[in-house]
């Protein structure tokens, strides 16, 4: 690989891994925060945590996912892998499924949660927080599987 190509590859891979770490880290933080909310339901601390989770959901996940995707595409175009490589198309599928889940399901959950909190409906809030926990677990599992695919690169 020519020195310039490998420098570009290294830079893309650095960006790729840093954005993947951010996405995974934010997801892990989200699960810890949800568990804490379940323990301190109805308190000011729960309210503050739910606001922070909404912020992460809207401000951290989307740019991190887009950067992972763009840097991944850059790595393929730069010659680090082919579109036919299983880890690449499963990686693409994983990103798209995860973004769709986060956007459609996560977004709707966010809105319902904001309405339930505003109405002071603690029972509904507790139910929605449980669903958020399950969504977070699924998302993190998808990311974990993709990272394993990216490291082992099966076929």
Which residues here bind ligand HEM, judged by CB under 6 A? 9, 13, 16-17, 20, 68-69, 72-73, 75-76, 80-81, 88, 91-92, 94-95, 143, 146-147, 150-151
Q: Closer to ligand HEM at the Cβ: 37 or 102?
A: 102
* Shortest distance, position 143 Cβ to ligand HEM, whole Å: 5
* Shortest distance, position 50 Cβ to ligand HEM, whole Å: 25
Strands (E) in 75-115, as ranges, are: none
* Shortest distance, position 118 Cβ to ligand HEM, whole Å: 33
Q: Closer to ligand HEM at the Cβ: 92 or 101?
A: 92
* Shortest distance, position 35 Cβ to ligand HEM, whole Å: 23
Residue located via tokens 């579109």 = 83
Q: Closer to ligand HEM at the Cβ: 73 or 133?
A: 73
What's the rounded Cα separation, in Å, for the pair 68 and 78?
15
Long-range contacts of 66-75 (CB under 8 A, 24+ apart): 67/15, 67/16, 67/19, 68/16, 68/19, 68/20, 68/23, 68/95, 69/95, 71/12, 71/13, 71/15, 71/16, 71/19, 72/16, 74/8, 74/12, 74/16, 75/9, 75/12, 75/13, 75/16
Q: Closer to ligand HEM at the Cβ: 56 or 126?
A: 56
Q: Closer to ligand HEM at the Cβ: 15 or 126?
A: 15
Q: Which residue is nearest to ligand HEM (CB)?
A: 72
């Amino acid at each position: 690989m020519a020195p310039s190509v490998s420098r570009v590859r290294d830079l893309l891979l650095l960006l790729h891994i840093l954005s993947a770490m951010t996405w995974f880290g934010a997801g892990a933080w989200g699960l810890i925060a949800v568990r804490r909310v379940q323990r301190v339901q109805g308190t000011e601390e729960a309210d503050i945590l739910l606001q922070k989770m909404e912020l992460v959901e809207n401000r951290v996940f989307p740019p991190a996912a887009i950067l992972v995707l763009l840097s991944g595409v850059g790595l393929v175009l730069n010659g680090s892998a082919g579109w036919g490589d299983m880890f690449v198309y499963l990686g693409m599928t994983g990103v798209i499924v995860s973004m769709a889940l986060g956007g459609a399901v996560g977004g709707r959950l966010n809105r319902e949660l904001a309405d339930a909190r505003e109405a002071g409906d603690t029972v509904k809030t507790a139910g929605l927080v449980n669903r958020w926990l399950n969504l977070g677990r699924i998302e993190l599992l998808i990311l974990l599987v993709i990272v394993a695919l990216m490291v082992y690169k099966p076929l």
